[in-house]
Amino acid sequence: MSGSLFVVGLGPGSPGALTPDAAAAVEAADALYGYGPYLARVPERPGQARHASDNREEGARAVAALRHAADGAHVALLSGGDPGVFAMAAAVCEQIESGVEAWRSLDITVVPGVTAMLAVAARVGAPLGHDFCAISLSDNLKPWDVVERRLDGAASGGFVIALYNPISRARPWQLGAALERLRRHLPASTPTIFGRAVGRADENVIVTSLGAADPTSADMATLIIVGSAFTRVIDRPGLMPLVYTPRSVAGGSS
Ligand code: SAH
């Protein structure tokens, strides 16, 4: 019997943002693997095994899922958002590249999901309406000076920047340092969005400016979008402001 591995993105949190393809892959699996809170989002099904693991054990989780699939099972490995954005799909590829030959013949399907920056952007309009990039502030897997170089390059290159993994108990100062770094390149008035737990019951979205952005208002469920010099805010009485980055830059076509 030949097994399969589906690496599935569950979206930001609301059931409506789970794609039908992702729901089908989860339903069809013999076994689910994932970080505990992601597993908790999908209903228990009779006969479907659940293997929860700690957030930091990505390599070990990928290996366990690959071994199980190689034994002939239909396995789904769950990620929040999109599995290819700072998540399990790359961890699976790393293990296949360095692992046993048999894993290269496995049937692997990556099922995309709505990543956090798209969910946060949609809440306020279209801040990612023109060129943008995504940077993880976690320095667990890369040195901090690489993060700084990328922040400098992104801000000076005129990209809107989505910051993933802004802060955690083990990484308390990185977001403050990153915002300071961006202030070297961008005016204090640059529109800045803090989107926390978007799509979940405790969602909170704040529109502020780079000058006023307070790193203590973020936690590990927060994604931050820092605008470019072209990003604009439209205030609306009694409503969330609209933030957008126009599709053409002043003085030229895009
Ligand atoms: N694969 C995920 C990202 C994993 S990294 C995705 O595509 O969204 C984890 C980071 O994603 C968090 O620290 C936070 O910055 C962001 N994030 C994940 N879900 C979020 C949500 N519902 N609201 C806001 N940010 C979220």
Give the tens place of pLDDT for each residue, 192-205: 999 999 999 999 99
Taking only the tens place, the pLDDT of each residue in 134-159 is: 999 997 888 999 999 999 999 999 99
Strand-pairing partners, residue 225, are 162, 193
Percentage above 90 pLDDT, the chain:
91
- Beta-carbon count within 10 A of 168 CB: 15
- Please report which confidence band the pLDDT of residue 254 belongs to, taking 50, 70 and 90 as the band edges: very low
Q: What angle do CA 242, 218, 227 make, to 5 degrees?
A: 40
Position 252 pLDDT exceeds 90 = no
**Residue 87 alpha carbon, nearest atom of ligand 1:** 1
Burial of 174-208, coded b for 16+ CB within 10 Å and e otherwise, reads bbbebbebbbebbeeebbbbbbbbbbeeebebbbb
Position 98 pLDDT exceeds 70 = yes
pLDDT at 253: 44
- Residue with the smallest CA separation from ligand 1 atom 2 is 81
Position 250 pLDDT exceeds 70 = no
Measured between alpha carbons, how far is 77 from 165 in angstroms, rounded to an integer? Answer: 20
Q: Residues 8-24: what's their mean pLDDT?
A: 97
Indicate the pairing of strand 74-79 with strand 125-126: unpaired
pLDDT at 248: 87
Q: Are 28 and 21 in contact (CB under 8 A)?
A: no
Q: How far is CA 171 from the centre of its chain?
A: 17
Position 24 pLDDT exceeds 80 = yes
Q: What angle do CA 121, 126, 131 make, to 5 degrees?
A: 95
- Residue with the smallest CA separation from ligand 1 atom 4 is 86
Position 52 pLDDT exceeds 70 = yes
Q: Residues 73-88: what's their mean pLDDT?
A: 97
Taking only the tens place, the pLDDT of each residue in 206-238 is: 999 999 999 999 999 999 999 999 999 999 999
Average pLDDT taken over every residue of the chain? 95
Q: Is residue 193 in contact with ligand 1, taking CB distance under 6 Å?
A: no
Going from the Cα of 146 to the center of ligand 1, the distance in angstroms, rounded, reads 21
pLDDT at 187: 98
Helix (H, G, I), strand (E, B) or coil at 99: coil
Which of 220, 222, 225, 226 most suits a substitution to test ligand 1, by most atoms within 8 Å of the C-beta?
222
pLDDT at 1: 60
Which of 55, 86, 168, 205 most suits a substitution to test ligand 1, by most atoms within 8 Å of the C-beta?
86
Q: Structure tokens of 191?
A: 């529109």
